[in-house]
Chains A and B, each alone.
Chain A
Amino acid sequence: MTPLAPVASSGLAALHAAAAAAGLMVSSSASWPETGADGEVTALAGFVESNFSPLLAEVAGRALRRRDQSQASGQVTAVVMVTALGDVTSATRVAAAVDSGKRVFPLMFFQSVPNAVAGYLAARWHLTGPVVCVSGTSAGLDVAALLIDDADADEALVVRVDLAVTGGDGDRAAAILVTGPANRERLSTA
């Protein structure tokens, strides 16, 4: 495996730092690109034209597969998405289709909000906690901590996705699974 790309680790580091600031413990994590093998993101059935949803699903799946599976059962897991610009690729393509009088592809409707891929993740991994999308990393971890404090979730999967919009950096994503100290202690003694 080739080493972590610096650009990926910076996104993940920001998530870890925000988790620590919010008093949360990190159970597992993942990022994109993570190794030199991370070239084209795997397509996700039902999601088209944009890397936003496939990338989010990829890093979230990696983080969930890396967790201690013996501690997954019975957990209520929130999905908290963080994105600075949202799915700007899809938004731009829809606007272009509208302006040129072309047909808007029906699948674009279903991916028009970030919630759709969260619903895919929730169904795939049985994540029954709240689904939230906010624009900042600190806000995302603060939301996760509040949901755990309020017992709306035992843990939260926090995923940040940033699509490249200017042709400079590539698309980036990072995910962490976090829980509160009380839940961590309960799981470790179970």
Chain B
Amino acid sequence: MDSTPAARRGTGTVVVTGTAVLSAYGRGTEALLTGILSGLPAFAPVQRFDVTARRVGVAATMPGSPELRTEMTRAVREACDDACLSPSDRARTPLFLAIHGDPAIARAPEADKPGLGPQAFTTAVAGGCGLAEQGIRCYMSACVAASTAIADAAAMIARGHADRVVVAGGYLVDCDQFALFDAGRVLADDGQVRPFSAGRRGLLLGDGAGAVVIESRESARARRAPPLARIAGWGRTGDAYHPCQPHPEGHGMARAVTAALQRAGIAAEDLGYINAHGSGTGQSDPAETSALRLALGDAAGTVPVSSTKSLHGQTLEASGVLELIVTLLAARKGMLPINAGFLGADDRCCLNLVLAEALAATPEFAMSLNAAFGGANTALVIGLP
């Protein structure tokens, strides 16, 4: 494994004071938590667009054809409401948005395309929510887009570069990405996602839109806003291995986990739950297992692990924020979701998976992991207040 200098961070404490989410289980955190803890995957035949020419025709979608800008605006507003941000608070808060891009750009006339960039999309969402006009960012780093945005927001707040940031991410299952993933032969043709399991056959896409309000502890205290959790640690790394395959021994992911633990100031044994990247693909799950063994040592065999992608699907640019919210909700509820779809052990994926039923536990610290094309890895550690 490549050596890495010790991770640094600013001295400030970073807290989450508001959340909002949409998933195939419905709108809102209650619908998501109930769905996740039911242990019943949300996958069903796709009705949103024609899939008759596709190898696979299953995804985790909400009914109908929700529109991304509308849903992102709704999620950001709801997160701000949840955090009890006043209009003047909102006007001083920038938005970091994680999306693939404006869904309209691919079919727009040439002359209209320059006006349909991700920055314009993000500016429109921020404006629709009364957020700041300055400091807006759009992240397009695939499945680590939202988790990278959260890490950056936390790093800025810890260093005192910002008091508060709203981070949101969204992906709604669409015909173009579905066709691409189908052409890439990565969709599970048995209609289930089975992370870390023998017989796993790939991933399935899912709807996701989520938003979190992240701020300094002092900022939250000044508003008397109770923290839902701390963003205690974060790490982001690259594999330097391949355009679209993970390092087989998980070197990059291991460095991300180590950096997140360093920033959180905790040992591997302090982790009480890991919501793994767990894509359910042949190469990624063993690589992630190796990464956890490299970074956590013996604790990798004892800390409870599940990949909630087995329930809500792969939500691409939304993954980082949706899965952080899942992790936060589960930790606060004291119930850890199952790793659904498990058929049997794979010797290359020996982890303490939560199987059969949700596990009653109250972790003080929990980790959410994400990986993406390009060998990008992120690890986020939350601590319960």
Which residues in A have some Cβ–Cβ distance to B below 8 Å? 46, 76, 78-79, 83-86, 88, 91-92, 94-95, 97-99, 101, 103-106, 108-110, 112-120, 122-123, 125-136, 139, 143, 146-147, 149-152, 154, 165-167
Contact = CB atoms under 8 A, between A and B. Distances in A.
Contacts of A115: 141-142, 144, 372-374, 376
Contacts of A99: 107
Given A122-B238, A123-B242, A134-B138, A85 B376 contact: no
Given A97-B179, A104-B183, A109-B183, A146 B138 contact: no
A8 B4 CA distance: 35
B155 interface: yes
Given A85-B105, A146-B152, A108 B183 contact: yes
Main secondary structure of the interface of A (DSSP, over half): mixed
Contacts, number: 205
Nearest to A76: B4
Interface size bracket, B side: 35 or more
A122 B375 contact: yes
Contacts of B31: none
B239 interface: yes
B170 interface: no
Interface of B: 2, 4-9, 53, 100-101, 105-107, 110-111, 113-114, 116-119, 122, 137-142, 144-145, 148, 152, 155-156, 159, 161, 175-177, 179-186, 235-244, 252, 255, 259, 372-376
A24 to B, nearest CB: 15
A117 B243 contact: yes
B374 A122 contact: yes
A120 B243 contact: yes
Contact of B243 (A86, A119, A130, A143): A119
Nearest to B107: A95
B373 A84 contact: no
A50 to B, nearest CB: 12
Q: What are the 5 A-B residue pairs with the smallest beta carbon separation, nearest first?
A: A115-B374, A109-B184, A119-B374, A95-B106, A131-B376
Contacts of A86: 100-101, 105, 117-118, 140
A91 B140 contact: no
B8 A150 contact: yes
Contacts of A131: 141, 144, 238, 372, 374-376
